[in-house]
């Protein structure tokens, strides 16, 4: 059996080596390392793949979130509601811009932001909601957009984990995750569903004016060379990363399908194990950035240790709720409002998930889990 990895980037590379190498070589030959033609080509291809008017590439997913918030003109003291159960980048940029993060509980089934909790958290100072499409499956965007409309709030989608996922709107239309709110932010970190070979990110929007504002912000606040109209940042997707991404984008649907196939096999093997809750599917496509189980028998940590001893990598995303992190704790939070995240952090375990998992590996992983839990 091939060595099991949490993410197998080497196996994936072997399959696309010629295309990727040629694409990178082109950049080196033409030396357009910054804002070269590859960046523009990838931008256009991603716009057409996502069906969104504007893609603005940037340096990483964290920047994408920050720049989205800067572009919307959010001001210190504005309250921004987001999920307690996500990667810290989401809340970090809110705090960094001196906006006030308001963390709320998530759903026990799909792990996404809880709509009732969002409603309860709205105050006259609330200016935006940041749903995170956690582990590859969309939050309830119909409900979030309704709330936003009613209270005149911006919606910024953290789409770092769900690129390519289809969202089935209640009005019948199907759109891509990240293109529903005012603005979407994604990451091309190597292990993401569309990953480059370093850091990368992008911002999506259908709003022409916002796209224009953001294009200036990523480039030192310049709309005309050496005229700095607003305070900006330096956040660029470098051309070599764009070359990798442009070579991989045509494969994204196949990559997501490979993840879904692996997820199905995991489900099948684990469905009769009482202590395990396999990932819930809401009505939107799940592209399995992570395949995350809940272990109901109280021995999640012992299982992690056991799997590691058997050479099976796994992850706990996330072990501590954000509202309990030193940097984001706030006296206004009430533990009773976080019953779900407080429970999930003790139950979740993410199994190896990537495009190269084979049947033998999945069988070994699942039988090791079942044997341990049935001991
Ligand atoms: C990866 C990730 C980010 C940050 O992306 P970087 O490119 O690493 O800065 C933000 N939010 C979520 C939910 C992520 O998973």
Q: Which tens digits make up the pLDDT trace of 300-340?
A: 999 999 999 999 999 999 999 999 999 999 999 999 999 99
CA 125 to chain centroid: 27
Overall average pLDDT of the 209-219 stretch: 98
H-assigned helices in the chain: 9-30, 37-50, 61-71, 89-96, 115-121, 141-151, 208-217, 239-248, 252-270, 300-309, 339-347, 359-373
Ligand 1 atom closest to the Cα of residue 187 is 7
Ligand 1 atom closest to residue 65's alpha carbon, by position in its atom list: 10
Exposure of 126 by Cβ count < 10 A (0-12 exposed, 13-18 middle, 19+ buried)? buried
Task: Please work out whether the CB of residue 60 comes within 6 Å of at least one atom of ligand 1.
Answer: yes
CA of 194 to the centre of ligand 1 (A): 12
CB 178 near ligand 1, within 6 Å: no
Out of 83, 184, 187, 235, mutate this one to test ligand 1's pocket (max ligand atoms within 8 Å of CB): namely: 187
Contacts of 335 (CB under 8 A, 6+ apart): 342
What is d(CA 156, CA 162) in angstroms, rounded to the nearest whole number? Answer: 14
Residue 193 in contact with ligand 1 by CB distance below 6 A: no
Task: Kindly report, residue by residue over 175-193, the tens digit of the pLDDT.
Answer: 999 999 999 999 999 999 9
Determine whether the shortest distance from the Cβ of 87 to ligand 1 is under 6 A. Answer: yes
Over residues 271-283, the mean pLDDT reads: 96
Residues 6+ apart with CB under 8 A from 363: 269
Ligand 1 closest atom vs CA 62: 9
Q: Which atom of ligand 1 sits closest to the CA of residue 89?
A: 10
Mean pLDDT of 259-288: 97
Q: What is the mean pLDDT of residues 160-178?
A: 96
Report the mean per-residue pLDDT for the chain: 97
The C-alpha atoms of residue 97 and residue 77 are separated, in whole angstroms, by 9
* All domains in the chain, ordered by first residue: 9-250 (3.40.640.10), 251-373 (3.90.1150.10)
Nearest CA to ligand 1 atom 6: 61
Residue 343 CA to ligand 1 center (angstroms) comes to: 23
For a mutational test of ligand 1's pocket, the pick from 57, 58, 62, 139, i.e. the residue with the most ligand atoms closer than 8 A to its C-beta, is 62
Q: Please, what is the angle between helix 61-71 and helix 208-217, to 10°?
A: 120
Decide: 90 in ligand 1 pocket, CB within 6 A.
yes
Q: Indicate which residues carry an active-site annotation.
A: 192
pTM above 0.95, yes or no: yes
pLDDT of residue 375: 82
Q: pLDDT digits over 231-273, tens only?
A: 999 999 999 999 999 999 999 999 999 999 999 999 999 999 9
Query: What CA–CA distance (Å, rounded) separates 38 from 32?
Result: 9
**Atom 10 (ligand 1): residue with closest C-alpha?**
89
**pLDDT at residue 230 in the model:** 94
Beta bridge partners of 178: none
Per-residue pLDDT, 259: 98
Summarize the confidence of residues 281-285 as an average pLDDT.
95
| d(C-alpha 131, C-alpha 83), whole Å | 7
What is the dihedral sign for C-alpha 175, 180, 183, 184? negative
- For ligand 1, mutation pick of 160, 161, 191, 199 (most atoms within 8 Å of CB): 160
* Residue 197 per-residue DSSP state: S
CB neighbour burial string for 274-312, b if at least 16 within 10 angstroms, e if fewer: ebbbbbeeeebbbbbbbbbbbbeeeebeebbebbeeeeb
Q: Quickly list H helices, 9-114.
A: 9-30, 37-50, 61-71, 89-96
162 Cα–ligand 1 center, Å: 11
Closest C-alpha among 372, 325, 362, 368 to residue 101: 325
pLDDT 10s digits, 101-153: 999 999 999 999 999 999 999 999 999 999 999 999 999 999 999 999 999 99
**β-pairing, 183-187 with 154-158?**
parallel
Percent of residues, the chain, with pLDDT higher than 90 = 99
């Amino acid at each position: 059996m091939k060595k099991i990895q949490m993410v197998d980037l080497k196996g994936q590379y072997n399959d696309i080596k010629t295309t990727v190498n040629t694409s990178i070589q082109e950049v080196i030959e033409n030396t357009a390392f910054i804002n070269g033609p590859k960046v523009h080509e990838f931008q256009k291809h991603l716009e057409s793949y996502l069906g969104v008017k504007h893609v603005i590439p940037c340096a990483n997913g964290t920047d994408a979130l920050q720049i989205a918030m800067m572009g919307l003109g959010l001001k210190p003291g504005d309250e921004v509601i987001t999920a307690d159960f996500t990667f810290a980048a989401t809340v970090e940029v809110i705090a960094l811009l001196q906006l006030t993060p308001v963390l709320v509980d998530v759903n026990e089934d799909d792990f996404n932001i809880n709509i009732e909790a969002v409603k309860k958290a709205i105050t006259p100072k609330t200016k935006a909601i940041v749903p995170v499409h956690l582990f590859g499956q969309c939050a309830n965007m119909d409900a979030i957009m309704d709330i936003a409309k009613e209270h005149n709030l911006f919606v910024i989608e953290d789409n770092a984990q769900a690129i390519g996922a289809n969202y089935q709107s209640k009005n019948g239309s199907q759109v891509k995750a990240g293109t529903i709110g005012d603005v979407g932010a994604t990451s091309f970190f190597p292990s993401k569903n569309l990953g480059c070979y370093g850091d990368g990110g992008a911002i999506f929007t259908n709003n022409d004016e916002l796209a224009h504002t953001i294009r200036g912000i990523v480039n030192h606040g310049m709309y005309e060379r050496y005229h700095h109209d607003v305070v900006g940042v330096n956040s660029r997707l470098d051309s070599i990363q764009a070359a990798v991404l442009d070579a991989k984008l045509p494969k994204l649907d196949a990559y997501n399908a490979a993840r879904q196939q692996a997820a199905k096999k995991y489900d099948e093997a684990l469905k009769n194990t009482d202590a395990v809750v396999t990932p819930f599917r809401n009505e939107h496509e799940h592209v399995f950035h992570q395949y995350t189980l809940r272990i109901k028998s109280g021995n999640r940590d012992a299982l992690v240790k056991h799997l590691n001893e058997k050479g099976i990598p796994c992850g706990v995303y996330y072990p501590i709720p954000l509202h309990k992190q030193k940097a984001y704790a706030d006296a206004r939070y009430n533990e009773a409002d976080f019953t779900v995240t407080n429970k999930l952090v003790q139950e979740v375990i993410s199994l190896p998930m990537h495009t190269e998992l084979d049947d033998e590996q999945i069988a070994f992983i699942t039988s090791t889990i079942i044997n341990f839990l049935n001991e």
